[in-house]
Amino acid sequence: MKVTTDPDSGFCFGVNRAIQTADNELKKGNTVYCLGEMVHNQIQMDQLKAKGLKVITHVDLTDLKGKTVMIRAHGEPPETFQQAKEFGITVIDATCPIVTKLQQQINYSFTKGEKPDIQIVIYGKAAHAEVAGLNGNAGNAAIILHGENDFSKLDFSKPIRLFSQTTMDAEGYQLLAEAIQQKTTEVGNSDLVIHKSVCRQVSGRAPALRKFASDHDVIIFVAGNNSANGEYLFGICKSKNEKSYFVADIKDIDSQWFKDIKSVGVSGATSTPGWLIDQVADYLKKIS
């Protein structure tokens, strides 16, 4: 049985940068308080906590006067930074640069040179940490859409500036944008600006992953159970290869999956550490 690892799998740039930032601080012997889980992978989080990382919530900020708090790759709304300043908290900002740029674009649309009746629209998941940061840069007045079912929130006759959470499905965003464009055209509104804000590293994985899934008899997809990106990418694998299996680590692997097969592909989410993907691949090689 030949085992092949997907070369595009593992941490995206933003998550990897945040993990390295935390590791560097922990190696100095500093206590690192992280506002929310740094990555949606429990195994990686357990490792960081073992080194001294402490996960906190916004409620905890009032008790951390004079301490150091890290902002994860998802980013935070402006009010979080203001609150930290008021409490004398030192901030380590590990926001993904791509997210930071998007926050700035949204803030510009909200504050400068735009019409008073403009609608800032964000394609994303309302409960996602990144969306909270994006919305905060629009004065918490953005309209959050997860699909056409949310179109009742929009006035298609008024100006629209459309953005997307960086980790959303690029194909889904394109379809949504086309549907909004059709609606605005129907009512004679040409004041629609569609921003290309989906992360290329995330969106670019879909076509390659479809081929990777099709090229192997079995796919083992490694991700945390709370990873939205993992759920999305696993769905792509499953759509191309019915023998695709979702695992958090080697404990979830069933040897029965590999009877009479010649090749196994191992892939993972952008929130899955590379060392964990390699660990799964090494285990499969041992049992082959």
Catalytic residue (choose from 37, 114, 130, 171): 130
Parallel, antiparallel or unpaired: strands 53-56 and 68-71: unpaired
**Sheet arrangement for strand 143-145:** 143-145, 119-123, 160-164, 192-194
Rounded distance, CA 114 to CA 141, Å? Answer: 15
- Give, as one character, the DSSP assignment of residue 137: T
Using only C-alpha atoms, the chain has a radius of gyration, in whole angstroms, of 21
Q: How big is the CA angle at 157 (ends 163 and 126), to the nearest 5 degrees? A: 35
Residue of 54, 56, 99, 55 whose CA lies nearest to 76: 99
The answer to whether 130 is a known catalytic residue is yes
Cβ-based neighbours of 172, under 8 Å, separated by 6 or more: 123, 147
DSSP H helices in 74-216: 78-86, 97-111, 129-136, 170-186, 200-203, 205-214
Catalytically active residues, by annotation: 130
